[in-house]
A and B are shown apart, each in its own frame.
Chain A
């Protein structure tokens, strides 16, 4: 037991040594026109040595560390919440209060915060969409960003070529993404688990590469710029109206001084509206028989079939509805950015959305909202650490999974404690 631990620790320390030497120990430096290999400074070597010692010791004493972790009391979030009955009466008030705060809040904080909040809201939408596919129906999808891309490009292209407005394109984008979800659903119906993950991963890449190479329509890697921003019943948020003679801008109509923060706040409010709509819709769906059927399919496919449920229809509906949510988010994303390129839809985006779903607790909406907030705000807060930002981000994810493996707020199921 102890010897195997010792070898394990030696092995881990060795790997750390090799990796650290390659990544930090030697560096390429330009000296004049030539590249020169530069060794790390003494201080860096001390750090590397310390790191290796840390890995070695933590592996050697992993048992003790584990028991130490276990002795740390885990905060029980569920007990912090009020009782169920109280909760039922409080809930509508809480929701109403939250919405009011979300609407008032942007007028009191800086432009940057509002912008960040808008981004968070986009991720909430994406997380909720993927939650249907992964959390409820149990279909591991690694290419979710493809539907996000389809939504974004649908709006961008329709706006560029046909001049359609954001509000018209919103349902069209969701529809286009849903169509792609439906089409992807067919070939993957027979797949599950790892196999499904690989196929969806491939699909995500296909979409991105297609967007990258179909230069004469999508603009290729240079993307599409100057995408029209959403308007408020035809009122634009620019300094000067672009839409012809009688077009008016928001500040002219309301006799205000021009301020670019109006636009930011307006976008934020649209995002709030969309998120509320999506939450309401998905909540409804989860309570409907179809929501139960998704869960049942995740639990046991054969049992589902024995009950006469149509596996095909259930899987396709999960894929389609999940994808349409991503399409929604995508259309809003391209309207907010005003510029999109395939760069925005790389695999890491899929991974982050999946991380949101897993961290939040599969199937739980509140958990996912919370996780989306954490996952978007933390990298911003950690900006001071510059290049170590992603490292910190990764570390945090590891810690979170360690601390609450079922997610922040696991999906709640009624349970009965048996008293002996």
Chain B
């Protein structure tokens, strides 16, 4: 569904990604793990076209998207939950959700909204409340819900567990699995390698801008090198 082929990305003279190739098939949960500064977020941003890849191709559903502008890419059927939630804090939950369906008709949006509220009953309780007044976990749910409002085929999640309590992280990961069962393909970037690999079908390990290892989630979880580096031995 999403093929990343030998992508190199630069920030000015600094090269952040070196020949990164990643393949995501429909219906999978693919996770990307790596330490701080490994280039995880850069890869995510490169998919979204900001910064654009200096060489290599990004193909989504058979269409090359690495030369397109960010807004055009984002309307192709992929959605991103940016790092750090980034909900519109002054707007209500309802308004936040409907910003996600900006380019869809009202009827379709209503239908998706009902589904999102089913997934996150917590958001329904807070429907008319300002997003900024909610807890971190609720905001993360809202950010995911907002991304789902565009009915994406591929959902990119950038560190959804960042700064959340373990029990909330568990809920978020449960939701991610539920989404996969509904047919949404998921690309998950995580520092929380343990949790991420547990639910992932396949995983990639990124180090200093290079993919150093790829295997099934279960294998990576038991891999000695990965355990040493990311799972605390």
Q: Do A and B come from one complex?
A: yes
Which residues from chain A sit less than 8 Å from chain B, CB to CB?
289, 292-293, 295-296, 298-300, 302-311, 413-416, 418
Looking at A296, A300, A310, the one whose CB has the most chain B CB atoms below 10 A away is: A300
B100 x A307 contact (CB < 8 A): yes
Least CB separation from B73: chain A residue = A308
A295 x B88 contact (CB < 8 A): yes
Q: How far is the CA of A300 from the CA of B127 in the complex (A)?
A: 20
Number of interface residues of B (CB under 8 A): 33
- The listed residue (A295, A302, A307) touching B91 by CB distance below 8 A is A295
Q: How far is the CA of A416 from the CA of B79 in the complex (A)?
A: 29
A303 x B102 contact (CB < 8 A): no
Least CB separation from B100: chain A residue = A307
Residue B92 is within 8 A (CB to CB) of chain A in the complex: yes
> Is the contact region of chain B dominated by helix, strand, or loop, or is it mixed?
loop
B91 x A299 contact (CB < 8 A): yes
How near does chain A come to B151, taking the closest CB pair, in angstroms?
12
Closest 8 pairs (CB-CB, A-B): A308-B74, A299-B88, A303-B86, A310-B71, A308-B75, A416-B128, A306-B80, A306-B82
How near does chain B come to A322, taking the closest CB pair, in angstroms?
20
- Residues on B with C-beta less than 8 A from A311 are 71
* Contact code string B47-75 (vs A, CB < 8 Å = 1, else 0): 01010000000000000000001110111
Q: How many A-B residue pairs have CB under 8 A?
A: 79
How near does chain B come to A199, taking the closest CB pair, in angstroms?
23
- Residues on B with C-beta less than 8 A from A305 are 48, 50, 70-71, 74
A303 x B90 contact (CB < 8 A): no
- A414-B75 contact, Cβ under 8 Å, with A289-B102, A303-B88: no
Least CB separation from B75: chain A residue = A308
Which residues from chain B sit less than 8 Å from chain A, CB to CB?
48, 50, 69-71, 73-75, 79-82, 86-92, 95, 98-100, 102-103, 126-130, 146-147, 150
A416 x B129 contact (CB < 8 A): yes
Looking at B74, B89, B126, the one whose CB has the most chain A CB atoms below 10 A away is: B74
- Residues on A with C-beta less than 8 A from B71 are 305, 308-311
Q: How far is the CA of A413 from the CA of B75 in the complex (A)?
A: 29
A293 x B102 contact (CB < 8 A): yes
Could you show 19 A-B contacts with beta carbons less than 8 Å apart?
A: A292-B99, A296-B88, A296-B99, A298-B90, A303-B88, A304-B99, A305-B74, A306-B48, A306-B74, A306-B86, A308-B71, A308-B73, A308-B102, A308-B103, A310-B69, A413-B90, A413-B130, A414-B92, A416-B129
- Residues on B with C-beta less than 8 A from A299 are 88-91
How near does chain A come to B41, taking the closest CB pair, in angstroms?
12
- A414-B102 contact, Cβ under 8 Å, with A300-B88, A308-B150: no
- Residues on A with C-beta less than 8 A from B95 are 292
A296 x B146 contact (CB < 8 A): no
- Residues on A with C-beta less than 8 A from B79 are 306-307
B102 x A309 contact (CB < 8 A): yes
How near does chain B come to A84, taking the closest CB pair, in angstroms?
13
How near does chain A come to B94, taking the closest CB pair, in angstroms?
8
A415 x B129 contact (CB < 8 A): yes
Given contacts A310-B71, A414-B128, A416-B126, list 17 more A-B pairs with CB under 8 A: A292-B95, A292-B98, A292-B99, A292-B102, A293-B102, A296-B99, A299-B88, A300-B88, A302-B82, A303-B86, A305-B70, A306-B81, A306-B86, A307-B100, A307-B147, A307-B150, A309-B99
A307 x B74 contact (CB < 8 A): yes
Q: How far is the CA of A413 from the CA of B86 in the complex (A)?
A: 19
How near does chain B come to A295, taking the closest CB pair, in angstroms?
7
Least CB separation from B74: chain A residue = A308
How near does chain B come to A412, taking the closest CB pair, in angstroms?
12
- A413-B74 contact, Cβ under 8 Å, with A305-B50, A307-B150: no
- Residues on B with C-beta less than 8 A from A307 are 74, 79, 99-100, 102, 146-147, 150
- Residues on A with C-beta less than 8 A from B50 are 305
- Residues on B with C-beta less than 8 A from A413 are 90-92, 130
